[in-house]
């Protein structure tokens, strides 16, 4: 009684990348740490192999002395978190529930990525649970990566390098199915080989085949899209030249072999699964075709750009993967011929061939939807109905916003959102972002609240499998791209803010090519204040307003009255 006992628990982690016998190497490392600190041991364990570095920063060969005073380690830990929060935090005043969910998401996102290890990526539940067994899906590139690109580019780079290291497996997968180029695994692990299970057990005990590993091919375009946007936003030429370009080219090459130019003059991609996984083996899925079209165009652009800017590397690449200028021209013409299923009169895009012929189903009949409709109604009924699992056409339009006019955004949102069941956690945040961009703010708030509840209220009933890290990335996108109205410009960033009147303030920070931009928005009155730190100037613009060249250390403010933005008022921060 009366004495204070201090217990430290030390964990040492080795993987098979660090040593052929990771268990023994960890034991040896731990023993050396304790021995070095004189913590009561007489000799290091004999015969235990030493750690073999695999080249990553994560591999450790020199045990750090274990200090019985851990305050230094705790202080370093706190500093690292403070630095992280300073760049990534979002302040949202006026919606406490969303604010809490956002910070919960930012905490988990920061914990999930490792900027020091480019051989790993983020599994669908990060490291917080066993659902999806740690497998990496499109969640990383399409939902999570934008957060890292704009707040912690070193983590984004490491995540993309993981895809570069797994390119050989993607080439092998394409080859094994009779295609050219690179087809990334739908579920990927350390080697990048396909890890999607072939069967799964339903809640009522039936064994059902999982076709995603064979048919969900949009993943290749998701990786390419992420590479291009990382490069545009960070200006990291080294990454693009040495790794990214190869991904762009080999994924474009895959799409050129995946479809066929048919008698009607269109390029068709048949037998796929789009993001709406309730409908399998479909032809001309809008999301897949639209993303493939983008990939073909930007693959061709990559070739041209490499030849102009980095002719030496281009020469090396053309030798290595035998690309010719004829192949680039072929990609451009296939992109032009891509079938998109858009009605020119209304702008409505058919989700896949035959979607309009499916049965209508009023999803409001199932409200409140606490069990996915494929479980409630049965898989075959859902397959025969216009019931969509998650944003599909809308995901395409969200990611390629600037390529489509407003009438297309509106027509498709109004048609598809009532038919979407949000059977995937990835869906509500994208709907929130979409609705916010269209100014449909009541709906945007409803979807934001749905996205914010997934983990904190376990509304999908599967939180025990781990947090839905993709949905968390989506939540961040809903705020920054949706309500904040972020748009990428060739020489900076622009905003089209759409804030609910009840939000007093929304504040976030973004990184763009080494510049740090603080963005502060308020709803009523509508103000946008931007403040720049770093070495370089950048452009900041407003849709329906003007663009300013902001210098480091400057702050600029604009006010919106009756839908029109005032000129910027500039002062030193
Ligand atoms: O990647 C998603 C997929 O789009 C829908 N089912 C869940 C997966 C993992 O989050």
pLDDT at 201 over 90: no
Q: What is the pLDDT of residue 210?
A: 96
**Averaged pLDDT, 135-143:** 98
pLDDT at 171 over 50: yes
- Alpha carbon of 285 to ligand 1 centroid (Å): 17
Return the residue whose CA atom lies nearest to atom 10 of ligand 1. Answer: 124
From 276, 277, 288, give the residue whose CB has the most ligand 1 atoms within 8 Å, as the site to mutate.
277
From 124, 276, 278, 388, give the residue whose CB has the most ligand 1 atoms within 8 Å, as the site to mutate.
124
- Alpha carbon of 233 to ligand 1 centroid (Å): 26
**Which of the pair, 285 or 33, is modelled with greater confidence?**
285
pLDDT at 116 over 60: yes
Going by pLDDT thresholds of 50, 70 and 90, the confidence category of residue 48 is very low
Give the Cα separation of 573 and 570 in Å (integer). Answer: 9
Q: What is the pTM of this model?
A: 0.93
**Which of the pair, 77 or 67, is modelled with greater confidence?**
77
pLDDT at 225 over 70: yes
- Spatial neighbors of 283 by CB under 8 A, at least 6 apart, are 268, 269, 270, 271, 272, 352, 353, 354
Q: How far is CA 328 from CA 217, 270, 324, 397, in A?
A: 21, 23, 7, 25
Please name which of 130, 164, 117 lies closest in space to residue 18, comparing C-alpha atoms. 117
**Averaged pLDDT, 452-459:** 96
Q: How far is CA 228 from CA 16, 71, 165, 285, 411, in A?
A: 32, 43, 17, 23, 28
> Whole-number mean pLDDT of the chain?
93
**Averaged pLDDT, 412-438:** 98
Contact call for residues 376 and 368 (beta carbons, < 8 A): no
Q: How many helices (H) and strands (E) does the chain have?
A: 21, 15
**Averaged pLDDT, 376-395:** 96
**Which of the pair, 300 or 53, is modelled with greater confidence?**
300
Minimum-distance ligand 1 atom for the alpha carbon of 132: 9
Q: What is the pLDDT of residue 43?
A: 42
The model's pLDDT over 520-561, given as tens digits with 9 standing for 90+, comes to: 999 878 999 999 998 999 999 998 889 999 999 999 999 998
Please name which of 257, 383, 232 lies closest in space to residue 327, comparing C-alpha atoms. 257
Question: Does residue 466's CB lie within 6 angstroms of at least one atom of ligand 1?
Answer: no
Ranges 307-321, 364-378, 515-529: which has the least confidence: 364-378
- Alpha carbon of 278 to ligand 1 centroid (Å): 12
Q: Per-residue DSSP letters for 257-287? A: HHSEE-TTS-EE--SB--S-TTS-SBSS-HH
User: How many residues does this entry show for the chain?
Assistant: 573
DSSP 8-state secondary structure symbol assigned to residue 545: S
Return the residue whose CA atom lies nearest to atom 2 of ligand 1. Answer: 139
Question: Does residue 470's CB lie within 6 angstroms of at least one atom of ligand 1?
Answer: yes
Question: Does residue 122's CB lie within 6 angstroms of at least one atom of ligand 1?
Answer: no
Please name which of 363, 351, 347, 358 lies closest in space to residue 395, comparing C-alpha atoms. 351
Cα three-residue angle 292-294-299, rounded to 5 degrees: 95
Minimum-distance ligand 1 atom for the alpha carbon of 125: 10
Whether a cis peptide bond, with omega within 30° of 0, leads into 125 is no
Residues facing residue 267 across a β-bridge: 261, 338
Q: What is the pLDDT of residue 457?
A: 96
Give the Cα separation of 551 and 565 in Å (integer). Answer: 21
Give the Cα separation of 390 and 556 in Å (integer). Answer: 39
Give the Cα separation of 168 and 431 in Å (integer). Answer: 35
pLDDT at 39 over 70: no
Residue whose token pair is 């851990």? 70
pLDDT over 70 for what percent of the chain? Answer: 94
Query: In 3-state terms, what secondary structure has residue 530?
Result: strand
pLDDT over 90 for what percent of the chain? Answer: 84
Question: Does residue 275's CB lie within 6 angstroms of at least one atom of ligand 1?
Answer: yes
Return the residue whose CA atom lies nearest to atom 7 of ligand 1. Answer: 424
- Spatial neighbors of 137 by CB under 8 A, at least 6 apart, are 124, 186, 187, 188, 219, 470
- Alpha carbon of 25 to ligand 1 centroid (Å): 36
- Alpha carbon of 395 to ligand 1 centroid (Å): 13
- Alpha carbon of 42 to ligand 1 centroid (Å): 52
Question: Does residue 124's CB lie within 6 angstroms of at least one atom of ligand 1?
Answer: yes
- Spatial neighbors of 215 by CB under 8 A, at least 6 apart, are 271, 272, 273, 280, 281
Question: Does residue 426's CB lie within 6 angstroms of at least one atom of ligand 1?
Answer: yes
Please give the structure tokens belonging to residue 228: 């291009």
Going by pLDDT thresholds of 50, 70 and 90, the confidence category of residue 52 is very low
**Averaged pLDDT, 505-524:** 95
Which residue ranges make up each domain of the chain? 22-69, 494-572
- Alpha carbon of 96 to ligand 1 centroid (Å): 28
Minimum-distance ligand 1 atom for the alpha carbon of 389: 5
Q: Catalytic one among 141, 194, 246, 277?
A: 277
Mark whether 277 is an active-site residue. yes
Contact call for residues 262 and 310 (beta carbons, < 8 A): no
Ranges 70-74, 144-148, 507-511: which has the least confidence: 70-74
Question: Does residue 188's CB lie within 6 angstroms of at least one atom of ligand 1?
Answer: no
Q: How far is CA 316 from CA 242, 244, 300, 321, 361, in A?
A: 10, 14, 17, 9, 55
Going by pLDDT thresholds of 50, 70 and 90, the confidence category of residue 181 is very high
Give the Cα separation of 327 and 51 in Å (integer). Answer: 46
**Averaged pLDDT, 17-45:** 77
The model's pLDDT over 325-358, given as tens digits with 9 standing for 90+, comes to: 999 999 999 999 999 999 999 999 999 999 999 9
Q: What is the pLDDT of residue 47?
A: 38
Q: Which residues of 174-202 are buried (b: 16+ CB within 10 A; e: fewer)?
A: beeeebbbbbbbbbbbbebebbbeeeeee
- Alpha carbon of 132 to ligand 1 centroid (Å): 9
- Alpha carbon of 139 to ligand 1 centroid (Å): 7
Minimum-distance ligand 1 atom for the alpha carbon of 470: 10
Going by pLDDT thresholds of 50, 70 and 90, the confidence category of residue 367 is confident
Return the residue whose CA atom lies nearest to atom 9 of ligand 1. Answer: 124
Cα three-residue angle 410-273-193, rounded to 5 degrees: 130
Q: What is the pLDDT of residue 371?
A: 84
Q: What is the pLDDT of residue 445?
A: 98
Residue whose token pair is 């056409």? 393
pLDDT at 57 over 70: no
The model's pLDDT over 241-250, given as tens digits with 9 standing for 90+, comes to: 999 999 999 9
Question: Does residue 372's CB lie within 6 angstroms of at least one atom of ligand 1?
Answer: no
In whole angstroms, what separates CA 128 from the centre of its chain? 18
Among the residues of 216-366, which ranges form H helices? Answer: 218-234, 237-239, 245-258, 286-309, 311-321, 325-337
Return the residue whose CA atom lies nearest to atom 5 of ligand 1. Answer: 424
SS3 per residue for 375-417: HHHCHHHHHCECCECCCCHHHHHHHCHHHCCHHHHHHHHHHHH
Q: What is the pLDDT of residue 49?
A: 39
**Averaged pLDDT, 512-516:** 96
């Amino acid at each position: 009684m009366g004495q204070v006992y201090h217990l430290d628990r030390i964990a040492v982690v080795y993987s098979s990348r660090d040593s052929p016998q990771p268990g023994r190497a960890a034991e040896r490392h731990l023993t050396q740490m304790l021995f070095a600190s004189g913590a009561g041991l007489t000799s290091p364990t004999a015969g235990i192999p030493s750690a073999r570095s695999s080249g990553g920063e994560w591999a450790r060969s020199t045990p750090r002395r274990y200090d019985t005073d851990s305050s230094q380690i705790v202080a370093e830990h706190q500093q690292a978190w403070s630095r992280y929060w300073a760049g990534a935090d979002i302040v949202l005043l006026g919606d406490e529930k969303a604010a809490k969910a956002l910070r919960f998401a930012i905490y988990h996102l920061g914990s999930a990525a490792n900027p020091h290890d480019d051989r790993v990526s983020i599994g669908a539940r990060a490291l917080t649970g066993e659902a999806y067994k740690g497998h990496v899906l499109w969640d990383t590139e399409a939902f999570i990566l934008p957060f890292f690109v704009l707040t912690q580019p070193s983590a984004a780079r490491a995540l993309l390098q993981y895809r570069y290291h797994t390119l050989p497996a993607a080439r092998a997968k394409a080859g094994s199915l009779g295609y050219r180029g690179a087809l990334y695994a739908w579920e990927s692990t350390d080697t990048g080989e396909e890890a999607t299970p072939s069967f799964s057990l339903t809640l009522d005990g039936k064994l059902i085949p999982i076709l995603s590993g064979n048919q969900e091919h949009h993943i290749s375009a998701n990786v390419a899209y992420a590479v291009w946007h990382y490069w545009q936003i960070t200006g990291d030429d080294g990454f693009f030249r040495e790794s990214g370009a190869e991904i762009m080219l080999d994924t474009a090459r895959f799409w050129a072999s995946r479809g066929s130019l048919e008698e009607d003059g269109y390029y068709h991609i048949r037998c796929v699964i789009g993001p709406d996984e309730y409908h399998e083996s479909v032809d001309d899925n809008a999301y897949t075709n639209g993303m493939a079209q983008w990939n073909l165009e930007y693959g061709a652009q990559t070739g041209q750009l490499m030849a102009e800017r980095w002719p030496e590397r281009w020469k090396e690449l053309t030798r290595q993967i035998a690309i010719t200028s004829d192949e680039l021209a072929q990609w451009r013409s296939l992109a032009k011929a891509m079938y998109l299923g858009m009605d020119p009169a209304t702008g409505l895009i058919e989700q896949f061939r035959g979607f309009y012929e499916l049965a209508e189903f009023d999803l409001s009949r199932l409200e409140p939807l606490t069990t996915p409709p494929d479980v409630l109604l049965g898989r075959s009924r859902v397959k025969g109905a216009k019931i969509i699992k998650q944003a599909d056409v809308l995901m395409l339009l969200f990611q390629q916003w600037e390529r489509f006019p407003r009438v297309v955004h509106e027509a498709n949102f109004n048609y598809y959102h009532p038919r979407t069941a949000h059977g995937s956690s990835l869906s509500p945040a994208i709907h929130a972002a979409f609705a916010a961009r269209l100014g449909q703010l009541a709906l945007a708030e409803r979807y934001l609240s749905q996205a914010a509840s997934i983990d904190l209220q376990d509304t999908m009933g599967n939180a025990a499998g781990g947090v839905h890290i993709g949905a968390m990335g989506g939540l961040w996108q809903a705020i920054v791209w949706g309500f904040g109205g972020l748009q990428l410009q060739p020489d900076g960033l622009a905003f089209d803010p759409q804030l609910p009147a009840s939000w007093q303030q929304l504040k976030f920070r973004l990184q763009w090519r080494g510049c740090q931009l603080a963005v502060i928005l308020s709803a009523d009155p509508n103000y946008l204040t931007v403040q720049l730190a770093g070495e370089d100037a950048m452009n900041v613009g407003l849709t329906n307003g003007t663009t300013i060249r902001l210098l480091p250390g400057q702050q600029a403010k604009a006010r919106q009255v009756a839908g029109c933005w005032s000129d910027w008022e500039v002062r030193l921060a």
